[in-house]
Amino acid sequence: METFTQLAAALAIGLGAIGPGIGIGLIGSRGSEAIGRNPEASSKVQTGMILAIAFAEAIAIYALVVALIILFVK
């Protein structure tokens, strides 16, 4: 039973971190591209990027919380 709990926790954080990881990478690449095309708007682009990255990272934190609940709540 312990093995299945560990496997479930590993899958929860592993699969839960894939989406935000890809999303943050896309946000960074598109933001850098936008700043390269229009340097005058860099402050507005950076503000939006930071906000979007924070929201994407929150999803990964939720996955971590779920994994910890699976591990420690019995």
Tokens at 22, concatenated: 């890809």
Contacts of 41 by beta carbon, 8 Å cutoff, 6+ apart: 34, 35
The pLDDT value given to residue 2: 86
Amino acid 74: pLDDT:
72
Contact 41, 34 (CB under 8 A): yes
For the cut 80, the answer to whether the pLDDT of residue 1 exceeds it is no
Query: Residue 67 has what pLDDT?
Result: 94
- 2-61 tens-digit pLDDT: 899 999 999 999 999 999 999 999 999 999 999 999 999 999 999 999 999 999 999 999
Structure confidence at residue 68 (pLDDT): 94
In CATH, the number for domain 2-72 is: 1.20.20.10
